[in-house]
Structure 1
């Protein structure tokens, strides 16, 4: 579990990011549900010796300074990498800035048949909060308005350390073992209005978690067949508490959620000529135990789930540059704590009747069918992918926020998402490279009950599910060390509620970003102009059934980045 706001420069130490949609291949822990995001850190075995400094500055008081270095693999097989960053911003919206630091480091020992790697990262972040959207009328007067007070902020830290050992056993067998510890803690303030005698009544909500886990995997690969199997076990504790400022030593409550998870997977792949077949299965047991505050007046609550998530796919290369693919899979996933407690931070006699039993919220399931074609050329690629995701008991957003800013969700019996994705690029040589992707979506909820209004809506589009998203980018080499790029993005309108009301939507918008880049002898200067046409765009929002509330996208802004190598 990673909160990006706690470790803000985490991506600076990532070598690659894989974004997937649909039912992904089985992995340790929770199987991919409707989509996944996977990270691979900087590969120590192939990263050469280097050191670099980076400085960035731009609009809205945005800045970042970072140092990073890598040793490369030494004569004794040792390699190390490290990066440290400090950054801040005043924020586009009023009093919505951030001040933070983060660090990432890894050390590895490579031998002919063994590899041992230690990875750690940590971060500390303080944020002035701005999680409420603003009304359409207020944004016309002041686009940067933030209805939260200047006193409402948070401060959190997070750390993680992992040790991984891999060994080639011979005869096609490879084994991997990993153990890790992840922790985070902090608190945030929420205003309850004016305090007697002046100022604000501020509630201080605290959070702290510790997560331990271990995984093991064995892979066998020979000729055109590979089989992999693995298992994992985790233990997760998270405390929630409330205190009122200024007496933070006196708590109104302290409750704890304990989640234990055990999972195993097996994967199989076989290739014969132009055909490749793959299948996998993830089996998982999860249990959650809620320990209430001593004064809550309720007993300990428990709930558990068992899941089986299968997937199979086939790829057929029908020619040297064209291949067809198809896959089918199912994933099931349990509700999160916020779903089980309907956004409440504490369970007690005052709300237990509405929230218990915990089985009231059912696990969600998705069946995913995909098929497509990929065309490859020396200078370009094009992929077309059709998908059909059928959801059962989807835990869907209802368009409202909890007191502390978390989106509220509930089960909807049946829903679906169907569409097509196109993704491609082409290298025109001296004229540059053109890349584009388009997603066309048709999504429906069969039946949605608005509990507050007592109204049932049928066959409605889920909130914040735009029917069309398109991206286009042109990278152009210029004279000598200079290059430039222009990127455009179109996002169609999206509903603010699950009621099908065509008047309560976010407007469609288009954004254009420009960049100019200079590079010579490892030194770089990059100037980015984001939202270059100063579009009046909104990233999302919600509604109270009459008024539209939006999250504004920042107006035209500039960011300048300088990178330079450092000598050892």
Structure 2
């Protein structure tokens, strides 16, 4: 008799969790406590350095979110995250067009973060690089209340509260669990004109309806008021990395507010069949002031320097899981239908008023209604062929539709309405061999794709009015060979991969916070990922990761319509925004109570900032240390800590703006900085 199935790649977002060892794909799991031990709990970048293949960088600019990419996909994003699918408790933090954000992730209530890389990320739709799934805590007995505070360099403060609990153990009808968390973060910012205020709330309420079904209500809200310091040229960065160039002149800034609610219903239909239904909806409001010169906006086809977005989004994901046995072969079959829709009202205004005062909303220059939806049926199956061999295979047929209606029409600005629709079949497969119960080897292959986002469709490369409807979706074929082995209580992973991409979506030009895009033909990414997570004894732990990634153009490329020989990008040039090598090491002492301490080192090789590879951000190595003390008194616990980041005061570039038209590529990282905090909790035992 074959052993039962050990895994299913479709459990992401369903609260059951994946196994790093058994999953036949490159997968890393970071536990929630790793985001809280001695950390500010402000950005995902604080704790994701141990994930190989994941390049996550803090822009020091909360108007633009983190810069996050997986195996090089997403490194070109001007703001937010693209090329990577984001989920929080099964609800996409990525819109139907592929654009996502991390700003609504509450680290105070994270249970675990799963990062899936490689071919199987295609099973989740419009993304080529991978999937980042965040699962928040579920309330349990006994009830717990918690208050935390953090303060640090540059006038940074974060205060948070959290309460959780449950009635019953969750197995009886009427049992309820709950969790509610809220935080407020403020900072003056490392750079000039980079002050930020951020309020975040997260809630989760679960009910056991009967012995076969549960219902979970999810709530999330975030509001951000952030100044935008923009990028610097290399000479500006070297002269004064804290300056903000023209940010004060134009008072560049962004305000964001988002509220969403979700509902997940799960029912065990029979001993072999399970049904899951997830629905959600939300609103997101954004206003952004950009540093675009008045002379540039004199062009009647220009959309202005102030962007106002009003977005409403909804989605439904319905799936059925069937576990059975065919002869002597156990198998799992999962099928479902995913529907997501986004409606957007986008308006643009001059960033000066009638008195020519900069940084003030002026006359309207753009007014349009955009609609985008995707409809994706999917199917996946897992077969235990023998006690050692397991086969996973699946497919997703993705349809993405975009439609825009232009309401701003003048004699010199014609009707720019238009529509596009994209279709793609995304097959994946993996064969896994268990050498021993603690060692496996797998081979996987799959196809992924990325459609242009609404923002990428918004601006043409020639500067004329109208949508960039000539953009094609990129298509990527990936092959991956990997192995995982359990070393005592630790885990070692290794993966080799190669991805060939057609019609890569790249930045043609980026000026004043606004980017236009084009298709670059063929690119190739190939690399190696290594990781080690090894407890050394009861309290000591070592984590290490290394990534080598070679990402290049495979044919000559030209971004502009009229391309001279000097403007051509030759085959073999490196894709900008991607580090060839990344390294990470963490050593920590973490007993349950008493003193705790940790030290980590991060290395990033040089990064090209444009397609010509004419400039680059230099490589860097930075170190951080932290220490603290945990007190446990019956029902009360207190954890106090202090930390120093960039211990050796290294001057380096934290992130880059790819192909920035004025050569303001560089977003500086802070020098040596400190922080400290405390968390006080009370348990109602």
TM-score w.r.t. structure 1 length? 0.90
Task: Determine which of 471, 474, 495 is the counterpart of 2:584.
Answer: 471
Q: CA deviation at 1:418?
A: 0.4
Which secondary structure state, in structure 1, belongs to the residue aligned with residue 437 of structure 2? Answer: coil
Q: For residues 512-556 of structure 1, give each alpha carbon's deviation from its aligned partner in whole angstroms, at most 9, with x where no partner exists.
A: 011113212231112121111111111233567996742111111
1:554 aligns with 2:664: no
Q: CA deviation at 1:47?
A: 6.7
Closer, same or farther: CA 117–546 of 1 in aligned 2, 3 Å: closer
* Paired residues for 1:527-566 under 5 Å: 527-541=642-656, 542=658, 549-566=665-682
Q: For residues 490-519 of structure 1, give each alpha carbon's deviation from its aligned partner in whole angstroms, at most 9, with x where no partner exists.
A: 111111112244xx2111100101111321
1:39 aligns with 2:118: no
Task: Determine which of 346, 350, 363 is the counterpart of 1:240.
Answer: 346
Could you tell me which residue of structure 1 aligns to residue 223 of structure 2?
A: 124
Closer, same or farther: CA 333–157 of 1 in aligned 2, 3 Å: same
Task: Determine which of 372, 375, 378 is the counterpart of 2:482.
Answer: 372
Query: Do 1:25 and 1:31's aligned partners in 2 also have CA atoms closer than 8 Å?
Result: no
Q: CA deviation at 1:251?
A: 3.0
Closer, same or farther: CA 204–332 of 1 in aligned 2, 3 Å: closer
Q: CA deviation at 1:329?
A: 0.3
Which secondary structure state, in structure 2, belongs to the residue aligned with residue 420 of structure 1? Answer: strand
Compare 220-229 and 473-482 and name the one that shifted more.
Answer: 473-482
Following the alignment from structure 1 to structure 2, what is the Cα–Cα distance between the partners of residues 317 and 125?
48
1:309 aligns with 2:422: no
Which secondary structure state, in structure 2, belongs to the residue aligned with residue 134 of structure 1? Answer: coil
Query: Do 2:401 and 2:420's aligned partners in 1 also have CA atoms closer than 8 Å?
Result: yes
Closer, same or farther: CA 14–478 of 1 in aligned 2, 3 Å: closer
1:412 aligns with 2:517: no
1:53 aligns with 2:147: yes
Could you tell me which residue of structure 2 aligns to residue 221 of structure 1?
A: 323
Task: Determine which of 287, 308, 315 is the counterpart of 2:401.
Answer: 287
1:142 aligns with 2:240: yes
Task: Determine which of 183, 189, 193 is the counterpart of 1:85.
Answer: 183
* Paired residues for 1:9-24 under 5 Å: 10-24=106-120
Closer, same or farther: CA 136–308 of 1 in aligned 2, 3 Å: same
Query: Do 1:5 and 1:125's aligned partners in 2 also have CA atoms closer than 8 Å?
Result: no
Query: Do 2:331 and 2:381's aligned partners in 1 also have CA atoms closer than 8 Å?
Result: yes
Q: For residues 371-429 of structure 1, give each alpha carbon's deviation from its aligned partner in whole angstroms, at most 9, with x where no partner exists.
A: 0211212132211110011111111235x4243x2454321111110011001122222
Following the alignment from structure 1 to structure 2, what is the Cα–Cα distance between the partners of residues 122 and 217?
27
Which secondary structure state, in structure 1, belongs to the residue aligned with residue 116 of structure 2? Answer: strand
Query: Do 1:80 and 1:107's aligned partners in 2 also have CA atoms closer than 8 Å?
Result: yes
Task: Determine which of 485, 488, 512 is the counterpart of 2:623.
Answer: 512
Query: Do 1:472 and 1:488's aligned partners in 2 also have CA atoms closer than 8 Å?
Result: yes
Q: CA deviation at 1:333?
A: 2.5
Q: CA deviation at 1:294?
A: 3.7
Following the alignment from structure 1 to structure 2, what is the Cα–Cα distance between the partners of residues 125 and 479?
35
TM-score w.r.t. structure 2 length? 0.75
Closer, same or farther: CA 548–102 of 1 in aligned 2, 3 Å: closer
Following the alignment from structure 1 to structure 2, what is the Cα–Cα distance between the partners of residues 408 and 369?
31
Following the alignment from structure 2 to structure 1, what is the Cα–Cα distance between the partners of residues 212 and 342?
34
Q: For residues 242-289 of structure 1, give each alpha carbon's deviation from its aligned partner in whole angstroms, at most 9, with x where no partner exists.
A: 234558696333111101211111010011301211111101111100
1:426 aligns with 2:534: yes
- Ranges in structure 2 where 5+ consecutive residues have no aligned partner: 1-91, 95-99, 296-303, 355-360
Query: Do 2:507 and 2:659's aligned partners in 1 also have CA atoms closer than 8 Å?
Result: no
Could you tell me which residue of structure 2 aligns to residue 449 of structure 1?
A: 558
Q: For residues 276-323 of structure 1, give each alpha carbon's deviation from its aligned partner in whole angstroms, at most 9, with x where no partner exists.
A: 111111011111001112425216311101111010001111123221
Q: For residues 322-347 of structure 1, give each alpha carbon's deviation from its aligned partner in whole angstroms, at most 9, with x where no partner exists.
A: 21111000012221122223379xx9
Q: CA deviation at 1:5?
A: 7.3
Closer, same or farther: CA 517–251 of 1 in aligned 2, 3 Å: same
Following the alignment from structure 2 to structure 1, what is the Cα–Cα distance between the partners of residues 593 and 342?
54
Closer, same or farther: CA 217–251 of 1 in aligned 2, 3 Å: same
Q: For residues 211-245 of structure 1, give each alpha carbon's deviation from its aligned partner in whole angstroms, at most 9, with x where no partner exists.
A: 11112110011353110000022221111112345
* Paired residues for 1:46-445 under 5 Å: 48-74=142-168, 76-110=174-208, 111-130=210-229, 132-150=230-248, 151-193=251-293, 203-222=305-324, 224-244=330-350, 251-271=364-384, 272-295=386-409, 296-298=413-415, 300-342=417-459, 350-352=464-466, 355=467, 358=469, 360-398=470-508, 400-403=509-512, 405-429=513-537, 432-445=540-553
Is the strand fraction higher in 1 or 2? Answer: 1
Closer, same or farther: CA 6–325 of 1 in aligned 2, 3 Å: closer
Compare 416-425 and 17-26 and name the one that shifted more.
Answer: 17-26
Which secondary structure state, in structure 2, belongs to the residue aligned with residue 339 of structure 1? Answer: helix
Compare relative contact order (CA 8 Å, sep 6+) and give the higher one, 1 or 2: 2
Following the alignment from structure 1 to structure 2, what is the Cα–Cα distance between the partners of residues 437 and 227?
34
Query: Do 2:511 and 2:661's aligned partners in 1 also have CA atoms closer than 8 Å?
Result: no
Q: For residues 454-482 of structure 1, give each alpha carbon's deviation from its aligned partner in whole angstroms, at most 9, with x where no partner exists.
A: 23222211112221101011112589611
Query: Do 2:511 and 2:660's aligned partners in 1 also have CA atoms closer than 8 Å?
Result: no
Query: Do 2:624 and 2:643's aligned partners in 1 also have CA atoms closer than 8 Å?
Result: yes
Could you tell me which residue of structure 2 aligns to residue 496 of structure 1?
A: 609
- Ranges in structure 1 where 5+ consecutive residues have no aligned partner: 196-201
Following the alignment from structure 1 to structure 2, what is the Cα–Cα distance between the partners of residues 156 and 465?
28
Compare 307-316 and 454-463 and name the one that shifted more.
Answer: 454-463
Following the alignment from structure 1 to structure 2, what is the Cα–Cα distance between the partners of residues 480 and 171?
43
Following the alignment from structure 1 to structure 2, what is the Cα–Cα distance between the partners of residues 8 and 558?
25
Query: Do 1:387 and 1:419's aligned partners in 2 also have CA atoms closer than 8 Å?
Result: yes
